[in-house]
Amino acid sequence: MQVPELTDNDAINLFTIEDSLYVATETNYLRRVDVKTLDTCEKVDLNKLVGINLSSSHTCRDAKGVYYTLGTSLLSGGKYHIITIPFSPSGKAKDVIPKTSILTNIPSSWYSNVSYYHSFGMSENYIVFIEQPLVINGLKLLTANVKGKSLRECMDWHSNEQNKFIVIEKSTGNIIPVKYKSVKSFFLFHHINTYEENNQLIVDVIAYDGPGIIDALYLKKLRSSEMDISDPARGRRFVLPLPQQSRDIATGCNLVTLDSKATAEKDGDTVYLKPEDLSEPGYELPTINQQNFGKKYRYYYCSGMYDPGPFRNSVREVQFVGSPGSSVEDDGILLAAVTDVRKDEPDFLIVLDATTFKEIARAEVTIHIPNIRENVVENVTQGLTSDTTA
């Protein structure tokens, strides 16, 4: 099987690796950007470093300074890989990029297909990969170039299959030997946060009932304001019990002991998960106070879509900037870029009080800010030594 060459048009996420700023999409390429001139610089090919063809748009960095991402290799049946970039004592990206390595390998549940993903979850001790039933069909991908098909046209949705939650120990790369599945299938782009409490793993995501949102974001629909919001996303919380062996888990009872409406019940060799809804429907692009990444938290911030044609006035991903030296979770400001396509109305960056949501200021610009972009202000607000999260 020969994998078609994928785009290096990195247009989804920006993040830092030590002293350098990179942009990424969902392929094996990263592109460095000069932080002073915004010129594009050298390309990093993760296929040459660790043999992957696809990767998560989002990376995570832990308290030790180690970067993590998720990748897929499409050859030999299809596998997922947890990839690490070590901490650099020198603070230089050029010293650690060549040391990129694979922490663990995860076989796909399908022989010739692999799950589509956009992000993953990480707590202090664990990584969570949700293998969802929107799959990239390997046979379709093989002939995509010849038939002139896009990656989306190589995807299949198996609504009768559940999502699988795969939990990996960060310290060893070992996969927790417990099968976790959702009771109902769902589709997700984004993890909100993941943390541990009382030997349970809390996994918060923005979830849809199906993948229709992908088709709703085609450019021709956005240009005509045809935004289908019949399946709006919402925050959902899953709680996973964390015994080391599946046989240690009791059957026929709810294993969730936290104050949550989420449930986890073992049937046979599998723990089936029902989520708790965290919000009303209609929210996406979550962010949190990064001081609480991988820890118990209270607040997350999203953009909402209520108008049948939100492209007319679209608020992109909100970014939280904490007050210097403050340990209060919502003490800070929120930044969001807003596109207003009405004639003679400027686009702008809005600044809100994170506690009251009152407008503090706005900075209007005379140019159009491209719609549907993630994290374009993240590293400006957090500085070039900070990390990005899934």
pLDDT digits (tens, 9 = 90+) for 208-217: 999 998 887 7
81 appears as a binding residue in the annotation: no
pLDDT band at 345 (very low <50, low <70, confident <90, very high): confident
Average pLDDT over residues 338-362: 90
pLDDT of residue 311: 52
Average pLDDT over residues 234-240: 98
pLDDT of residue 6: 64
Average pLDDT over residues 264-282: 95
190 appears as a binding residue in the annotation: yes
3-state secondary structure of 188: strand
Query: 3-12, 225-234, 267-276, 326-335: which has the minimum mean pLDDT?
Result: 3-12
CA angle 58, 172, 87 (to 5 degrees): 50
Report the C-alpha gap between 59 and 50 in whole angstroms: 16
Q: Is the dihedral of CA 53, 59, 63, 65 positive or negative?
A: positive
Nearest Cα residue to 264 out of 242, 296, 297: 242
pLDDT of residue 292: 96
Looking up tokens 């949700």, which residue turns up? 130
pLDDT of residue 373: 52
Q: In this model, does residue 387 exceed pLDDT 80?
A: no
3-state secondary structure of 380: helix
pLDDT of residue 2: 56
Query: 121-125, 220-224, 319-323: which has the minimum mean pLDDT?
Result: 220-224
pLDDT band at 8 (very low <50, low <70, confident <90, very high): low
pLDDT of residue 13: 83
Give pLDDT tens digits for 33-84.
Answer: 999 998 999 999 999 999 999 999 999 999 999 999 999 998 777 999 999 9
Report the C-alpha gap between 42 and 208 in whole angstroms: 36
Start-to-end C-alpha separation, the chain: 31
What number of H helices and E strands is found in the chain? 7, 29
Report the C-alpha gap between 90 and 101 in whole angstroms: 19
Report the C-alpha gap between 62 and 123 in whole angstroms: 9
Q: In this model, does residue 388 exceed pLDDT 50?
A: no
Report the C-alpha gap between 291 and 297 in whole angstroms: 9
pLDDT band at 346 (very low <50, low <70, confident <90, very high): confident
Q: In this model, does residue 313 exceed pLDDT 80?
A: no
Give pLDDT tens digits for 291-304.
Answer: 999 999 999 999 88
Phi, psi of 212 (to 5 degrees): -60, -25
pLDDT of residue 258: 97
pLDDT of residue 174: 97
Report the C-alpha gap between 66 and 18 in whole angstroms: 10
pLDDT band at 376 (very low <50, low <70, confident <90, very high): very low
Report the C-alpha gap between 384 and 35 in whole angstroms: 9
Taking CA atoms, 52 is separated from 83, 363, 384, in Å, by 10, 41, 27
3-state secondary structure of 21: strand
**Percent of the chain scoring above 90 in pLDDT:** 65
Instruction: Report which residue type is found at 119.
Output: S
Q: In this model, does residue 309 exceed pLDDT 60?
A: no
pLDDT of residue 385: 34
pLDDT of residue 7: 64
pLDDT of residue 273: 98
Helices assigned H by DSSP within the chain? 46-50, 93-96, 138-142, 144-147, 212-216, 219-223, 378-382
pLDDT band at 377 (very low <50, low <70, confident <90, very high): very low
CA angle 326, 377, 32 (to 5 degrees): 120
The domain spans of the chain are 13-311
Give pLDDT tens digits for 162-214.
Answer: 999 999 999 999 999 999 999 999 999 999 999 999 999 999 999 999 999 88
Q: Say which residue, 248 or 251, is predicted with more confidence.
A: 251
Q: Say which residue, 184 or 226, is predicted with more confidence.
A: 184
Q: In this model, does residue 254 exceed pLDDT 80?
A: yes
Taking CA atoms, 276 is separated from 93, 121, 127, 248, 390, in Å, by 40, 17, 21, 25, 20
